[in-house]
Amino acid sequence: MRRLLVLPILAAATVAHAAPAPPLIPMPAQVMPGTGMVRIGTGSIISVPDGDDGASVAAQLLIERVMMDRGMKLSSGSGGTIRFQRDPAIAGGEAYHLVIDSRGVTISASGDRGLIWGAMTLAQLLSPDAQFGHAVVLSAMTISEAPRFAWRGLMMDVARHFQPIETLYPIVDAMVAQKLNVLHLHLTDDQGWRVEIKRYPRLTEIGGWRTPPSSGGEPGPKVGGFYTQAQLKALVAYAAERGITIVPEIDMPGHAQAAVAAYPREVGVLGDQPGTGHDWGVNPWLFSPSERSMSFIRNVLDEVLAIFPSQFIHVGGDEAVKDQWQRSPQVQAQMAALGLKTENQMQGWMIAQLGEYLTSKGRRLIGWDEILEGDVPTSASVMSWRGEKGAVDAANKGHDVVLSPAPNLYFDNLQSDRSDEPPGRLAVQTLEQVYSYDPAPAGIDPERIKHVLGAQANAWSEYLATAKQKAHAIFPRLSALAELTWSPKDKRDWKGFVARLDPQMLRYQREGIAAADSAFAVNFRVQGSRGDALRSGKVRLVMDTQAGAGAIRYASNGKASAKARAYAAPVTIPTGTMVEAAAFLADGRPAALPRRFDASRAALLRATASDLSACPKGALGLRVPLLSGQSDDAPAFNVNIFDTCTQWTGAPLTEASGATIHVARLPRHYGLAHEASALREHYAVTAHGELVVRAGGCEGAVLASFPLPDPHTAPSRMQFRTALVEQKSDADMCFQFTSSLSDPFYAVEAVTLEDRR
């Protein structure tokens, strides 16, 4: 017989101050303890009012979620222990009340979404720990809540790297479980057009596929894909039944290369026909503002509107460099006829025209904050991504706004600087940093704060090529997003959130979601230099985790376990030791997979790409894969695409008799637009440039110089070895490539120093 578990959520009022918070994400606005308790287990009955389809849907979602997250089979019937009911007195379509007492559980709401959110709260209460399959006894309580913000969103970029439609359904399920309600699909960009438009089939036949970039040899076969209208309609219906609105984005006037590749005469500016793009960043192709192009766009929007019934339609508006418009006599003549003096005003006119068209169809336009540069009407809503200034300016002008600032809510930013992170942007945004963000920026007039609709995180996919990589980037930061958009600000508490995240991580695991454990993994840092450690034969090691959950325990040359040595302060270990460590929770489970630190001489004499830093006046901005779209997380390289120069700070050169530099040649596929002037070219003295290795920094003495091979014929990974004369001191070791800016670029994969002993 299975053991009956009691969930000590909130006991009687007299001891409520000592009771733990309920294991809920997001945290409710109000939780009032009661007296008594009720048992819920397999066979418990759920009742709904006769003929109430919305309540029936909420009940079915509860059944499915509890089976997945707890392994308990609930059933529908009359006289149930769990009851759904309508209450018109509960204001707001997303608000609900949940009452637990000795008679059972009652979920009340006036709207369908409220019933769903109440069901999801109960599902979390019924999956509070690791005891899968066991019944739960709930302490009596009353939960009353409504969301802080109306827009609680996640953007999935399916344009840069196409993802099969079936990979989006788990995203919807994870969103509804934590009361997020907007899924924004970035459907078009330079690198792909992902939505079927029946009137213009070449948009997907040509624009849906691209030739991948090359690092020197012949490019591979085309990659891409698109969604049929039937597939998207099915996804929209699935999401809508779960309280989630899908907002489509058709990016314009910039990020238009895929469309121009398919229909250059209809929408292009200068008449040329590029291929579908493979360069990340900002590219020059724009939609023309001519009537032929505007008619094309309106026809596209008509089919988009038939797929997506959402109130808002996103039209992009970002990163549209205006060089093509500046060089087009036709566009300049159109501007003169309209009385417009700048190309930004031309974009504003274009966005306003589309806004009027969408209004005539009963919809609303939303775009990235660049649309403000064109004096668009206040009927246009603004999604602020370039920090918060766009939101502040827009709200004060009377626009509705959604906060989506970089880097705070950009989920393609790495979650740590660990070497086992997959590719992404190197502006690290930890779980705590995301949780700490508040989408009510200072500077908005108090009377205008009503224009803040909410917040949204963005999962741009230049470096998120697979569903697994996207899951790693999104989860568990999605949980932080859920709480910062739903819960009252005064209910947010980082330590409490970390404690409540533990059962949520278990739910992710049961749902097959590969959530990142970066916040809970043990980090290792060496106090002092590697050279000192090698010379003394001792390593001073610091261990910590981002979240601080659990107690760190470690083993030297063994397996970390809940009974291993407890870490309390920096430890000194002899060289040659392998340390394994993990943070263990109160029930003995590790909060993350154990991590290892190798203190052998060979490891201390080796640096990987993650150990290297930028050269002076530079910055490492990206962690990139060897091949665009590779399915594996490794190899990955921390790079500065503007200056291919990195250094190993404090390299232990006194202990080295030689060095082997492992090098990779990477595709130079970046649309830099007007930032191209920031590229730094180093003078080459051989046909294809050199790798120059220096000691003492990037102006130091040359240790070695290696001619680089012909990129069109040589493999993309190579090694260079040199002997080293005995060095009197450790020093920064600089690796500088002098290859042409028109060729692929190079990065150091690893540096191995040969032991002088």
Query: Alpha-carbon distance 640 to 68, whole Å?
Result: 44
Residue 547: closest CA among 515, 575, 576: 515
Alpha helices in 567-676 (DSSP H): 601-604
Residue 164 in tokens:
């099969």
Dihedral, CA atoms, 309, 312, 315, 316, nearest 10 degrees?
-130
Residue 172: closest CA among 120, 124, 133: 120
Number of other CB atoms surrounding residue 757 within 10 Å: 6
Question: Do residues 663 and 720 lie in contact, with contact meaning Cβ atoms separated by under 8 Å?
Answer: yes
Give the DSSP letter string of 9-49.
S---GGGGGGSPPPS-SSPPSEEEEEEEEEEE-TT-EEE--
Residue 149: closest CA among 404, 486, 399, 481: 486
Q: Of 196, 249, 319, 421, which is the active-site residue?
A: 319
CA distances from 203 to 235, 317, 385 (A): 21, 19, 27
The two counts, helices (H) then strands (E), for the chain are: 18, 41
3-state secondary structure of 307: helix
Residue 184: closest CA among 93, 251, 283: 251
Give the DSSP letter string of 648-706.
EEEE-GGGEEEEEEEEEEE---EEEGGGGGG--PPPPSSTT-EEEEEESSTTSEEEEEE
**Residue 421 annotated to the active site:** no
> Tokens 């003169």 sit at which residue?
336
CA distances from 146 to 85, 143, 297, 500 (A): 17, 10, 38, 20
Amino acid at 288: S
Residue 183: closest CA among 457, 512, 424: 457
Q: What letters, b where the CB count within 10 A reaches 16 and e where it falls short, cover 24-63?
A: bbbbbbebebbeebbebbbebebbbeeebebbbbbbbbbb
Question: Do residues 187 and 158 lie in contact, with contact meaning Cβ atoms separated by under 8 Å?
Answer: yes
Amino acid at 359: T
Query: Alpha-carbon distance 579 to 542, whole Å?
Result: 11
Q: Which residues are catalytic?
A: 319
